[in-house]
Chains A and B, each alone.
Chain A
Amino acid sequence: MHDGHDDHDHHHGHGHNHPHDPIEVPDGAGHYELMVHAIKELLIEKGVISADDIRKTLEFMDTRTPALGAKVVAKAWTDPAFKKRLMEDGTKAVAELGIPMGDAELIVVENTKDTHNVVVCTLCSCYPRTVLGLPPDWYKSRNYRSRVVVEPRAVLKEFGTTVPDDVTVRVHDSNADMRYLVLPMRPPGTEGWSEERLAGLVTRDCMVGVAVPKAEKVPA
């Protein structure tokens, strides 16, 4: 970088181009961060929740990962009776595996050779957090939320998922009290696999419906 900088005197900001702007950490909190702190303090002060409640909730959320959802899916693939219960009442069925839904209810939607499901929350970022952990940034982005309802096939293609023309795309707007988990199709070539090995195929994106599991990606 110093080629041609014969007169470089280490007084930056003049006379030559930097490859990037200096990295700056803004001082102080932004508006929303301050609001969060203010509301948190008020809720504690008024006795609605305690600081310990908040810490416990954060600790609990740290234990939530897509591996939980993958376990649900793999069990549904290998245990038809469980799958039946899961489709009838997702909330109750995941509770069997020790996964609580909290205040929300879980609806499981099944991909078939005729239907591909994809989940969005156009109003905010509702997501089955106790089953999949925190949502990825793209799930909360205006781009995804506004476009997947209008042009789901184009958005899915951007995720590398091409849905054949004769397959119905079924978009689920998670706009109120339900949360959604996509039950993908079990990939061919996985006959005889253990539940654990199957779970390794099931990614977060497969359970939101922007991807489908593939067997060839995972070494035996």
Chain B
Amino acid sequence: MSEVANARFKPGDRVRIGDHNPPGHRRVPVYARGREGTIERICGAFPNPEELAYGFDGLPKRTLYRVRIRQADIWPQYKGNPKDILELEIYEHWLEPA
């Protein structure tokens, strides 16, 4: 995994995923927008896919995190163990402290 200098968040931090709907190529599934979770790990730094999609170089690289969210916090009607979780990858510019 690529090393990350200056990562804004660390594993265990509580974060909120941005709740906005900008046009264009985005990698944040709508179901996760506005949800709160915990940083599970730092994945590394990668060229920004939102720029790459339009032929730019995607630099500077953005830090990518895995965010763990309780299923019950995504789907109010969730059936199953209350400990069930979902994890997904979110770029730093979509995250704010919760």
Chain A residues within 8 Å of B, Cβ to Cβ: 89, 91, 105, 107, 122-123, 149-153, 165-178
Contact = CB atoms under 8 A, between A and B. Distances in A.
B7 to A, nearest CB: 15
B98 interface: no
B1 A105 contact: yes
Given A91-B1, A105-B1, A153-B80, A176 B75 contact: no
B18 interface: no
Interface in B39-98: 43-44, 46, 49, 64, 66, 71, 74-75, 78-81, 83-91
Most buried by B among A89, A122, A149, A176: A176
Interface of B: 1, 27-29, 31-32, 43-44, 46, 49, 64, 66, 71, 74-75, 78-81, 83-91
B40 to A, nearest CB: 10
Contact of A150 (B27, B43, B75, B88): B75
B77 to A, nearest CB: 9
Contacts of B81: 165-169
What are the 6 closest A-B residue pairs judged by CB atoms, nearest first? A176-B89, A173-B88, A171-B86, A169-B84, A168-B83, A177-B46
Nearest to B30: A122
Nearest to A170: B85
Contact of A153 (B29, B32, B79, B86): B79
Given A105-B1, A168-B81, A176-B43, 14 more contacts: A122-B31, A149-B86, A150-B78, A166-B81, A169-B71, A169-B81, A170-B87, A171-B84, A173-B88, A175-B27, A176-B64, A176-B91, A177-B46, A178-B64
Contacts, number: 80
A154 to B, nearest CB: 8
B74 to A, nearest CB: 8
A182 to B, nearest CB: 13
B89 A178 contact: yes
B43 A105 contact: yes
B27 A123 contact: yes
A151 B64 contact: no
Nearest to A103: B46
A172 to B, nearest CB: 5
23 contacts: A91-B1, A105-B44, A107-B43, A107-B66, A122-B29, A123-B27, A150-B75, A153-B79, A153-B84, A169-B80, A169-B81, A169-B85, A170-B86, A171-B86, A175-B29, A175-B88, A175-B89, A176-B49, A176-B88, A176-B89, A176-B90, A177-B64, A178-B89
